[in-house]
Amino acid sequence: MQWDTDQYKLFGRRTAMLAGGKLLLLSTLVGRMYYLQVLQADRYKTLAEENRMSMRLLPPPRGRILDRYGIPLAVNEQNYRVVIIPEQTKSVKETLLALGKVIGISSTESRRILREVKRKRSFVPVTVRENLTWEDVAQIEVNAPDLPGAMIDVGESRYYPDGYETAHILGYVAAVSEKDLTGDPLLELPGFRIGKSGIEKVHDLILRGTGGTSQVEVNAYGRVIRELNRQEGKPGAEIKLSIDIGLQKVAVERLGEESGAAVVIDIHTGDILAMASTPSYDPNAFNRGLSTKEWKSLIGNNRKPLNNKAISGQYAPGSTFKMIVALAALEKGVIGPEQKVFCSGHVELGTARFHCWKKRGHGAVDLVQAIQSSCDVYFYEIARRTGIERIASMARRFGFGSSLGLDISGERSGLIPDKGWKRAELGEGWHQGETLLAGIGQGYVLATPLQLAVMTARLANGGEAVRPHLTSSIQTDGTKVNKEIKAVKNIGVNSSHIELVRKAMNAVTNIPGGTAFRSRISDQRYAMAGKTGTAQVRRISKAEREVGVIKNKDLPWEQRDHASFVGFAPVDAPRYAVAVVVEHGGSGSKTAAPIARDILLEVQKRGAVSQPGQDQPMIDQPPIPERDA
């Protein structure tokens, strides 16, 4: 019996110990559950919600670009694209083969799509083709049962209604490259486009807008189940330009097949009303993606359609530079308004002979007559007396030799040489013969069409340092900010000298004997003043002069002279200035002057109509002369 009692006592102790252990474990478990479910409830609820919900960034609509009258120049339109969702097809390759029979898919495209499929998760759509036509969309929808995994998606794409006419101003948008990544999450969105040139590039940040967000419910694999909340982003700013698209079209049309540029500017405000460069290109092609053939065609064209010749083309200004030389000579006092220089057809400097464009010369001419007939000998002589330093100083006051600060990328500074420049750049001293060449706008002198237009504007407005611009206003969130027009300073040129030069420019177009007389505007309400220019791109040999200079039309295109014209109108109360440069166009009076005439006539008529932006017909003009200048 004693043994049974001891055995029961041992069993009781063990039972108590086990019960205590279980109680301890249960207490610990209850405590842990209380800690997790009560004390840490908010934290784990948040973690669970974050695992269940996902935030997606939404691209905002890109801001529109308008002309001065509110006509759209860059807009967004629906972009139909076909995508493939890999998890919804047994074989992506087979779907691509079937899809290729409907819309045609190249082997290069197929390789690109398959690479993206491998990089992305199976439920993420992969873009096959963007910018589908309505016919393509219809064909895909009709064949949908035979295209597992393929579907139509709708987005937005940049579109330029007048792409060819505005390409060099607006530029274009294209896909984000690796070097464009700045940390902005918008740049990492599939299909996102940014400005690559022109206004699109200069104002890219404000045109992008602010991205929106979409809160979606996803499963454990990251697949979207449903959208819980959406907050749209803010559209990009709306930008209004100074450009008149109607005038811009006229300028491009008048340049036609020529390789050249034309700039029209308001001489008082600096508004650029038209800035044409030809040949041009279609910026919409960059948005949809250029083919290899299209790209080679653009870069292989010797007339450089991708270059904005209006601001990046640098040309010898030729005789259009003679007004600058005349003003420098008048300021120094080396020539008077009525003082004459005799032109025999050439001048000699040492062993060198410098020829006038008119072989037998112009005889005795004063300043007005010299500009009217574009006498080279007169300007050789007054340039020699004035010196290159004073000519360079005057040129810089009129906007030559440096950037004008235009609100667009790609502007070049041209070149106004002087003794210091040649010593620094070429390590040589200046020669007097180089001063003579500068006197007729050749030699080292280079200018852009924009600079020629600004020079003309400053002549026409009496010497005010007007500066050109393209952006008129920017509107963001309903708030419109107009372009700030800074007070214009006077460039410090004697007003009577400017008036004399303007009188000479009037004689060029409106008095018989002027180099552009036959290209004048016959309606006196719109009469223009101007100056022709012809710049050689090759040296004419002594043998060629003896047998007679070969006509430009008989030379290969790249050896022909550049043609230019600058002018302002109306003569009595100037408001507009124009500059036209035609590469290898031959005679300034024959090629450039008629183009400038029609553009100046059009801008005046458009400025006079009560409904701005309405196209007006151009009046007929008499035939142009065969003379050079």
- 456 with 572, same domain? yes
CA distance 588 to 261: 13
Residues 6+ positions from 493 with CB-CB distance below 8 Å: 327, 331, 394, 397, 463
- 36 with 131, same domain? no
- 88 with 117, same domain? yes
Which of the pair, 306 or 484, is modelled with greater confidence?
A: 306
What range defines the domain where residue 44 resides?
Answer: 2-55
- 426 with 511, same domain? yes
Question: Annotated catalytic residue: which of 242, 319, 374, 564?
Answer: 319
- 277 with 237, same domain? no
Local structure of 198: helix, strand or coil: helix
CA distance 494 to 118: 73
- 361 with 448, same domain? yes
User: What is the rounded radius of gyration, in angstroms, for the C-alpha atoms of the chain?
Assistant: 36
Residue type, 593: A
Q: Look at residues 39, 55, 71 and tell me which one is the last residue of a structural domain.
A: 55
The reply to whether 300 falls in a domain is no
The reply to whether 43 falls in a domain is yes
Instruction: Work out the pLDDT band at 155, boundaries 50, 70, 90.
Output: confident
Predicted confidence at residue 215, as pLDDT, reads 73
Span 49-54, mean pLDDT? Answer: 60
Residue type, 535: A
Tokens of residue 415, six digits: 């070149």
- 45 with 182, same domain? no
Using CA atoms, how far residue 581 sits from 456, 525, 542, 618, in Å, is 14, 26, 28, 21
| φ, ψ of residue 129 in degrees (nearest 5) | -150, 135
With a cut of 60, say whether residue 619 has pLDDT above it: no
CA distance 106 to 221: 33
The reply to whether 34 falls in a domain is yes
CA distance 427 to 167: 40
Extract the runs of DSSP E, i.e. beta strands, from 236-371.
238-241, 260-266, 272-278, 341-343, 346-349, 352-355, 363-365
The reply to whether 189 falls in a domain is yes
What stretches of 171-308 show up as alpha helix (H) in DSSP?
198-202, 204-208, 245-255, 284-288, 292-299
Tokens of residue 550, six digits: 């070969």
Question: Tokens 């500074």 correspond to what residue?
Answer: 413
Predicted confidence at residue 9, as pLDDT, reads 64
Q: Which stretch of 111-115, 324-328, 340-344 has the lowest confidence by average pLDDT?
A: 111-115
CA distance 209 to 234: 6
CB 584 within 8 A of CB 532: no
CATH number for position 231: 3.90.1310.10
pTM for the model stands at: 0.82
The reply to whether 302 falls in a domain is no
CATH number for position 502: 3.40.710.10
CA distance 242 to 261: 18
With a cut of 80, say whether residue 393 has pLDDT above it: yes
What would the pLDDT profile of 62-80 be if each residue is shown by its tens digit? 999 999 999 999 999 888 8
With a cut of 60, say whether residue 544 has pLDDT above it: no
Can the peptide bond before residue 279 be classed as cis, meaning omega within 30 degrees of 0? Answer: yes
The reply to whether 142 falls in a domain is yes
Q: Nearest Cα to 556, choosing from 253, 300, 302, 262?
A: 302
Which of the pair, 331 or 156, is modelled with greater confidence?
A: 331
Instruction: Work out the pLDDT band at 246, boundaries 50, 70, 90.
Output: very high
CB 449 within 8 A of CB 310: yes
- 258 with 335, same domain? yes
- 454 with 567, same domain? yes
Residue type, 223: R
Local structure of 487: helix, strand or coil: coil
**Average pLDDT of the chain?**
85
Does the annotation count 177 as an active-site position? no
What would the pLDDT profile of 205-231 be if each residue is shown by its tens digit? 999 988 877 776 766 555 566 767 777
The reply to whether 486 falls in a domain is no
CB 381 within 8 A of CB 420: no
Q: Which stretch of 182-191, 465-474, 596-605 has the lowest confidence by average pLDDT?
A: 182-191
- 236 C-beta neighbours (distance < 10 Å), count: 22
- 26 with 158, same domain? no
CB 228 within 8 A of CB 259: no
Q: Which stretch of 161-170, 180-189, 280-289, 463-472 has the lowest confidence by average pLDDT?
A: 180-189
Which of the pair, 470 or 31, is modelled with greater confidence?
A: 470
Using CA atoms, how far residue 132 sits from 135, 205, 469, 527, 559, in Å, is 8, 28, 37, 50, 45
Predicted confidence at residue 107, as pLDDT, reads 85
Tokens of residue 130, six digits: 């963007």
CB 65 within 8 A of CB 74: yes
CA distance 561 to 548: 16
Count: domains in the chain: 3
What would the pLDDT profile of 371-382 be if each residue is shown by its tens digit? 999 999 999 999
Using CA atoms, how far residue 223 sits from 87, 188, 335, in Å, is 11, 20, 85
CB 167 within 8 A of CB 280: yes
Instruction: Work out the pLDDT band at 364, boundaries 50, 70, 90.
Output: very high
Tokens of residue 168, six digits: 């060099």
The reply to whether 160 falls in a domain is yes
- 233 with 266, same domain? no
Residues 6+ positions from 441 with CB-CB distance below 8 Å: 316, 317, 318, 319, 320, 321, 322, 533, 535
CA distance 266 to 569: 10
CA distance 578 to 516: 15
- 556 with 525, same domain? yes
CB 105 within 8 A of CB 96: yes
What would the pLDDT profile of 461-510 be if each residue is shown by its tens digit? 999 999 999 999 998 876 777 766 666 789 999 999 999 999 999 999 99
Q: Which stretch of 114-128, 304-318, 552-566 has the lowest confidence by average pLDDT?
A: 114-128
